[in-house]
Amino acid sequence: MVSGGGTGVGKQIAHTLAGQGDRVVIIGRRRELLAQARAEINEATGTDHVADTLVGRAGTPADVAAAIRYITSPEAGYLTGQIIGLNGGAVLGR
């Protein structure tokens, strides 16, 4: 995981790691820069090793529905007062 991966040193670190074959998650404050950096690095390295979420994809309505099913199910009976971040890890550590 590379913080500030959309620009500057963070972007270069992500590029180097992806070029070595490592899977990389870039995080930062500006989503549009992260998407641009991801595309540039993946194209330059000929890989798809860089993602801007931990799960490597955008969320879907099915993801939200699955969370709602769980939260409202008996299995979630011990869950109280939580904020559930359905963001694929895009804001991890913020």
Summarised one tens digit per residue, pLDDT across range 68-85 is 899 899 999 888 887 777
Q: What is the pLDDT of residue 51?
A: 72
Confidence grade of residue 11 (pLDDT, cut at 50, 70, 90):
very high
Q: Report yes or no: 24 and 14 within 8 Å, Cβ to Cβ.
A: yes
Q: What is the pLDDT of residue 73?
A: 93
Output the pTM of the full model: 0.57
SS3 track for 24-93: EEEECCCHHHHHHHHHHHHHHHCCCCEECCCCCCCCCHHHHHHHHHHHCCHHHCCCCCCCCCCCCCCCCC
